């Protein structure tokens, strides 16, 4: 547990130093019922393994939060990790925009967002499990929205994760009008 906490604290220190409007919670204490459901399903499907495979997280099982799902491929090449869009639900597209499946995020998302997003997807890979991130959505000038995210690895048992599952909940920032 200490290694997990160290990695989450390092993420939070980087986020603070770089002025990111997000942080990671050490606990998986989700406020959104949808994210509680996503965590419970992820754990159920993982069973005795570190994470479930992508095939175990079917659209039918995720129907209660499918519009809030993003799945990104983890592509390891030349000692680095890149993320490629695979699936984006309609709520994700509403706030983040749409991207063609198979598009590398680092080719379409402008700085500084691509660094934030990549760091947020690398964290569950580093801790080998789910994380909860909380923050304000600045992307596309949407500073009036808070976001809470469940972010977790997916992959075949015994191998490295080959995807990251993100389920997001969006709420208006209290007192901010748009």
49-62 pLDDT, tens digit per residue, is: 999 999 999 999 99
- pLDDT value of residue 167: 96
d(CA 33, CA 35): 5
CATH architecture for segment(s) 2-171: 2-Layer Sandwich (3.30)
- pLDDT value of residue 43: 98
d(CA 40, CA 78): 35
Residue 41 host element (H or E): helix 33-46
Beta sheet of 131-137, edge-to-edge order: 22-25, 131-137, 145-154, 163-172, 69-77, 80-88
Q: Which residues of the chain have pLDDT under 70?
A: 1, 90, 94-102, 105, 108-110, 138-144, 172-178
Q: Residue 148, by phi and psi: left (phi above 0), alpha (psi -120 to 50) or beta?
A: beta
What pLDDT, in 10s, does the model give residues 121-135? Answer: 999 999 999 999 998
Nearest to 20 by CA among 113, 96, 102, 89: 113
Half-sphere exposure of 23 (CA within 13 A, CB side): 11
| DSSP one-letter code for 21 | S
Nearest to 147 by CA among 105, 72, 92: 92
Work out the number of other CB atoms within 10 angstroms of the CB of residue 41: 21
- pLDDT value of residue 87: 80
- pLDDT value of residue 4: 94
- pLDDT value of residue 143: 63
- pLDDT value of residue 172: 67
Query: CA angle 156-102-141, nearest 5°?
Result: 110
Work out the number of other CB atoms within 10 angstroms of the CB of residue 69: 21
């Amino acid at each position: 547990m200490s290694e997990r906490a160290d990695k989450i604290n390092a993420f939070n220190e980087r986020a603070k130093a770089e002025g990111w409007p997000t942080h990671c919670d050490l606990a998986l204490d989700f406020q959104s019922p949808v994210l509680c459901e996503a965590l419970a399903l992820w754990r159920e499907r993982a069973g005795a393994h570190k994470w479930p495979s992508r095939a175990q997280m079917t659209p039918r099982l995720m129907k209660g939060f499918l519009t809030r799902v993003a799945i990104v491929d983890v592509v390891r090449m030349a000692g680095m990790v890149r993320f490629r869009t695979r699936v984006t639900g309609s709520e994700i597209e509403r706030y983040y925009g749409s991207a063609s499946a198979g598009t590398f995020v680092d080719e379409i998302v402008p700085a500084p967002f691509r660094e934030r997003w990549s760091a947020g997807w690398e964290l569950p890979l580093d801790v080998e499990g789910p994380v909860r991130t909380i923050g304000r959505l600045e992307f596309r000038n949407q500073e009036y929205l808070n976001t809470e995210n469940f972010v977790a690895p997916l992959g075949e048992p015994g191998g490295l994760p080959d995807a990251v599952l993100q389920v997001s909940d969006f709420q208006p920032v209290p007192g901010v009008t748009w």
